[in-house]
A and B are shown apart, each in its own frame.
Chain A
Amino acid sequence: MLGYAVRRIAGTVPTLLILVTLSFFVIRLAPGGPFDEERALSPQVRANLDHLYGFDRPLGVQYLRYLDGLAHGDFGVSYKLRDDSVAGLIAQGLPVSVTVGFAALVLAMLVGIPLGIWAALRRGGAIDYMVTGLATIAIALPTFVTGPLLALVFGLALRWLPVSGWQQGDPFYLVLPAVTLALPVCASIARMMRGSLLETLSASFVRTARARGLGPWRVLLRHALRPALLPVVSYLGPAATYVFTGSLVVETVFALPGTGRYLVQGALDRDYTLVMGMIILYGALTLLLNLAADLVYGWLDPRVRHE
């Protein structure tokens, strides 16, 4: 298992390298550059800037230089945001993004799993219809729609919750962003949990457990729940990715000082190093989260052997 994990982590390096290479050249293909201003810089200043940041070298050389920096843990400096290294900007914003994402993920699991179990146990009943119906709606709605709507209802109309800002992680300010982000994930989890529990409950080993005279709760907790959780666990990788990349939206909607805004702003400003830093950050996060989900899956399901 440890060997497997190491090999999988090593396997993410080529993927990351492809990602870095592709995005490096795609961004450079775009018209414009970081020093294009409304008022053109004088040629001398422009040449000095280009020389300082190495833009006067061939693209291939710039690429190799960038990779060399990366290998030494240097993400470069932002061309637009003054006095800021890309690593520094990430270090400032990441705690916010991770807090929101993590809160959303935990919330989605805490609500989604019990709802799914409840719906499965009351198959065909009112609860079941309500859960599956609401899940269909919640999955269809993008966060940039639910976010403003929730802010309108709970922030402006009812005045229960603040609608924007961060306040050093005051949990009160965390509620609306986390709920917005959690809704679709929670719906997916509930739906998946319901489906897989229904399947497990009709399996022969559950029938055997019932035939042995075990009570319904014991059958559920001791026998059915663990295998039924497997699809949910394998969904957690994509869910975590969704939540962390999706925090971009709630950060925009609720004016949170996370990392998400750097991606859009950086791309618009042609702030190459900032965009690259964000791509690497989120690319690595995506790959690692998927890997973590696979490992947990193997631990839960002894039939899966990592060779």
Chain B
Amino acid sequence: MLAIGSARARPGVRRLREDRVALGAALALAVLALLALFGPWLSPFSYDALDWRHISVAPGLTAAHWLGTDPLGRDLYVRTLYGLRLSLLIGVLATAVSVGIGVAWGIIAGYVGGRTDSWMMRAVDVLYALPYLFVVIILATVFGRGSIVMLLIAIGAVGWLTMARVVRGQTLSLKRREFIEAARATGLGTPAILIRHIVPNVAGTVAVYATLTIPELITYESFLSFLGLGVQEPLASLGSLINSGARQMLTAPWMLLVPAAFLIALLLCFNLLGDGLRDALDPSGN
């Protein structure tokens, strides 16, 4: 948010402060992140330890396992928080990947213009037309099974399209402004103009779309793990926990409810925060 701390954006910051929903979402996200980071330490159990004396026990505050256990006796509290940690990590990193690609693609297409622009955006259009759910599945199955890095790339690779479009549009209008012309008049090269003048000016918009991209990519990751294509046992992600929970629905409904509640909270908070940021930056749109 520092990047948009210019005189023009200050009313935006004020609007955000007044947006109770967005603030609440930001607060809840902070709590979730803290839980993901430090929560597992509060429990004596590890995420893959089998406790044969407590198999499929229901949640209870006085029980040894606060949020219950699965049929192998693994502690659901610790596993869910580990899953939360992984989902957050992959969501944020994959967003960083797609922001990197999207911003670079968008500013180059927008600033260089002409035939380069039309070819680059044509490529984006073609990729947009593909069923991206399938592309992620193929990439993840083919390269990503078990490897978190490949999973990251597969998810990040499909998340950058909207970013590229938005950034290009912004760059097109920035390009004609006087200060860019002035920068060019002083003899600054194109790469320097892009990095020093264009990037800081699109940063606000990028921050908004990045906030909205994170939940989308978290959903992809969870979805892949739900299908068994993402994070592999004994590691857990929220998606794989929901999948095993759905199988045990009849005998141990908490196995579904606990990770589902965390995933729902996570996605809702990111979406509400992103909507709030967007409204703060551009109050005219709804």
A residues with a Cβ closer than 8 A to B are 15, 18-19, 23, 26-27, 29-30, 136-137, 139-142, 144-145, 147-149, 151-152, 156, 195, 198, 241, 245-246, 248-249, 252-253, 263-264, 267-268, 275, 278-279, 282-283, 285-287, 290
Docked-complex contact A283 and B130, CB < 8 angstroms: yes
- Number of B interface residues at 8 Å Cβ cutoff, please give it: 39
Whether, in the assembled complex, B139 has its beta carbon less than 8 Å from a beta carbon of chain A, the answer is yes
CA distance A227 to B239 in the complex (A): 41
List residues of chain B with CB within 8 A of the CB of A15.
Answer: 126, 129
CA distance A292 to B238 in the complex (A): 37
Whether, in the assembled complex, B264 has its beta carbon less than 8 Å from a beta carbon of chain A, the answer is yes
List residues of chain B with CB within 8 A of the CB of A279.
Answer: 134, 138
List residues of chain B with CB within 8 A of the CB of A275.
Answer: 138
CA distance A168 to B260 in the complex (A): 31
CA distance A198 to B256 in the complex (A): 40
List residues of chain B with CB within 8 A of the CB of A19.
Answer: 130
Docked-complex contact B223 and A18, CB < 8 angstroms: no
B246 contact from A26, A142, A148, A282, Cβ within 8 A: A148
What are 20 A-B pairs with beta-carbon distances under 8 A? A29-B142, A137-B268, A140-B264, A140-B271, A141-B267, A142-B223, A144-B242, A145-B242, A148-B245, A148-B246, A148-B256, A149-B257, A241-B131, A245-B133, A252-B227, A264-B229, A267-B137, A279-B138, A282-B134, A287-B129
Main secondary structure of the interface of A (DSSP, over half): helix
List residues of chain B with CB within 8 A of the CB of A241.
Answer: 131
Whether, in the assembled complex, B62 has its beta carbon less than 8 Å from a beta carbon of chain A, the answer is no
B residues with a Cβ closer than 8 A to A are 126, 129-131, 133-134, 137-139, 141-143, 215, 219, 222-223, 226-229, 239, 242-243, 245-246, 249-250, 253, 256-257, 260, 263-264, 267-268, 271-272, 275, 286
Docked-complex contact A152 and B130, CB < 8 angstroms: no
List residues of chain B with CB within 8 A of the CB of A149.
Answer: 256-257, 260
Docked-complex contact B141 and A264, CB < 8 angstroms: yes
> In whole Å, how far is A9's beta carbon from the nearest beta carbon of chain B?
13
List residues of chain A with CB within 8 A of the CB of B137.
Answer: 263-264, 267
Docked-complex contact A246 and B133, CB < 8 angstroms: yes
Known contacts A15-B129, A286-B130, A140 near B256 by CB under 8 Å: no
List residues of chain A with CB within 8 A of the CB of B260.
Answer: 145, 148-149
CA distance A224 to B285 in the complex (A): 20
> In whole Å, how far is A196's beta carbon from the nearest beta carbon of chain B?
10
CA distance A30 to B144 in the complex (A): 10
CA distance A285 to B272 in the complex (A): 33
List residues of chain A with CB within 8 A of the CB of B126.
Answer: 15, 18
Docked-complex contact A249 and B129, CB < 8 angstroms: no
A144 contact from B131, B134, B239, Cβ within 8 A: B239
A27 contact from B138, B246, B264, Cβ within 8 A: B138
Docked-complex contact A267 and B249, CB < 8 angstroms: no
